[in-house]
Each structure stands twice: as structure tokens, then as C-alpha cells.
Structure 1
Amino acid sequence: MKKMTTRFLMACAAIGAATGVLLIPTNFAAFSVSASVPLAYAPMVGLWIIGPVVALAVLRRPGSAVLTTFIAGVISIPTPAGPSAVVTCLMVGTAIELGFLVTRYRVWAPWLFHLTAAVFTVLYALSAYAAFDISTMPAWAQVVFFALMLGSQAAFTALGLVVARRLEATGVARGIAPRRTVPEA
């Protein structure tokens, strides 16, 4: 296991802080619409995915997503989510990190980010389906609910990868992330 250097911790803190600031208004909006208008909530779920995607794509180190989302969750505590924001963020960070753990942190291709985020989103959508009683909605609304969640995840995963590439181009990860030995597919 690699040492957690100060630069690595500070990079995770910066990405986590930015994610937390993004999630503050998102939590307020999500709590105001999730139970009453789940179709308005569904497109928001991808916002929780940006931070761990950026952290893993830029830093390419184990624990990046979990540490980043922990910090984002702590920053999000003053929202209606309260302390559960930490649990939610850690759940997302851990889920996104699992795909890379399975590959022993050797594959950093965009397809793995998308696949991992999609698997998590499907599992989350199934739990939200039950929690928001989506089964009582018309069939078209149920399909739209899942499509919006998956579309949100795909869009925000892609956005996270774009942000990561731009951050990496600035040299922010120099000396933190391992050198690329094989170009990304």
C-alpha cells in the first residue's frame, strides 16, 4: 500500500471540499422533492458521483474516492441530510471504489468508471424505487424514473472524467498519481 502523503491528503481534501460545496444545494433540492416528486429527484443522483470519479481519475490511488466523499459528507452535514450525508457520501465513494478494487487498481479506463457507476446507480435506483413507492406510479413514469437516474449517472460520470482530464492537464496530480504506463482505452 502506498503512503498517504500530505499532497495526496490535500488533493483529496480539495476535491472533497469542492464536491461538498456542490452537494449543499443539491441536498436541499433533493430533500424538497424526493418524496413528493421522485421524477424531479432522479436526475440529481449523478451529482453524488462526480467527486469520487474525479478523485479516482486524477489520483489513481486506493482510498481516493472514500476519503474524498467522507470530506464531502462532512461538509454537507448542515443540510437537511444532517449526519446521514456522511453515510450517503461514503456509500457512494465506496461503491465507486469497488470496481477499481476488483481490478487491483490497475485499470483506469473510462469504461470502468461508467460500469462501476452504472452498477451502483442500478442498485441505488432499486432501493429508491421501494423507498419512494415508485411501483404505484404509471408504467411510463417508472421507466422514466430509471432512465433519468441512469442518464444522470452517465452524464455526471462523463463530466467527472472531463474535469479530471482538465485537472490532470494542469499538473495537479504530478507527484501524487502513479505514472501511466499504458495509455487509457
Structure 2
Amino acid sequence: MAALTPLAVLQRGGTGVIGAVAAGVVTMVSPAGPLILVMMAFFGALTELPFLITRYRWFGPRTLFFAGLGLGVLSCGISIFTYDLPSMQPALLVLVCGGQLLSAVTGSTLSYAIARALRRAGIGSSRRRTTGV
């Protein structure tokens, strides 16, 4: 949600990377230390990929869903190799990857709901184009 929520609210390119790096700054106290900033910037850039493909024109629930799902798949792949999940019980692989995919889809849904609520409150982008004078 660190990258999806800024993208959904502000609807501008680069806000996903900025949001993810800001979340990385908060979590720098983790064992990964400053390396977490690089990882979060990478995740933020990957989150923006579906929006980049649409040339930052579509910020609806479908694009947010695909961005979240992509991160869920990536997270599952990282977990498979990091924790050597295939060598463990198959149920554990299903549980870990299923939980990560469900979490990613839930996060994208919540990001969209937060963005809608903030727009109703007058915060964020309405993406209305004004004509020149």
C-alpha cells in the first residue's frame, strides 16, 4: 500500500516510488538497514509499471488491482527462493503464496477505497482537465 495509495490519490507518475521510499525510511531500523531503501524504490518502480504501460492515464481499480497482483506474484517468487519453500510442505507453499497474493489484492482494494474517500474530502487529484485561456 505504500506505493499504491500515493498513486491512487495523486494520480501522478513517480508518486509510487516516493511513497515506497518514504515507507523504507521508516523501516530502516530493520536488519536490512539502508538497503531497504533500494528494495523499496525497486518495489515502487514495479508498482508503477502498469500505470506506465497505460501512460499514466488509468488509475482505476483495475490498474490498481494488476499493480497489487504483480507485487504479490513478485513477493511470492522472492519467498519461494529465499525460504526454499519447495523443500517444505506443499501446504506451506500454498499458504505463504496465497496469503501474499490475498494481501496484495486487499492492499490495492484498500488503496482505491482510501483514494476515493480522500477525493470526496477534497484531497488528491480529480483528474479533471481544464482548458487553456
Task: Give the structure-2-normalised TM-score.
Answer: 0.88
Name the amino acid aligned to 2:17. Answer: V
- Unaligned runs of at least 5 residues, structure 1: 1-49
- Unaligned runs of at least 5 residues, structure 2: none
SS of structure 2 residue aligned to 1:107: coil
**Which residue is 2:41 aligned to?**
90
Name the amino acid aligned to 1:151. Answer: L
**Which residue is 2:59 aligned to?**
108
> Which of 147, 158, 168 is equivalent to 2:119?
168
**Runs of 4+ residues deviating >3 angstroms:** none
**Which residue is 2:127 aligned to?**
179
**Which residue is 1:72 aligned to?**
23
Distance 1:116 1:159 in 2: 13
Aligned residues: 129
Q: Confirm whether residue 142 of structure 1 aligns to residue 93 of structure 2.
A: yes
What are the equivalent positions in structure 2 for 1:4-153 lying under 5 Å apart? 50-153=1-104
Q: CA deviation at 1:94?
A: 0.7
Q: CA deviation at 1:137?
A: 1.2
Identity percentage over the alignment? 30
Task: Give the structure-1-normalised TM-score.
Answer: 0.65
Distance 2:116 2:39 in 1: 26
**Contact preservation (8 Å) 2:75, 2:100:** no
Task: Note the alpha carbon deviations across 1:81-103, whole angstroms, 9 max, x for none.
Answer: 31122122112211111110010
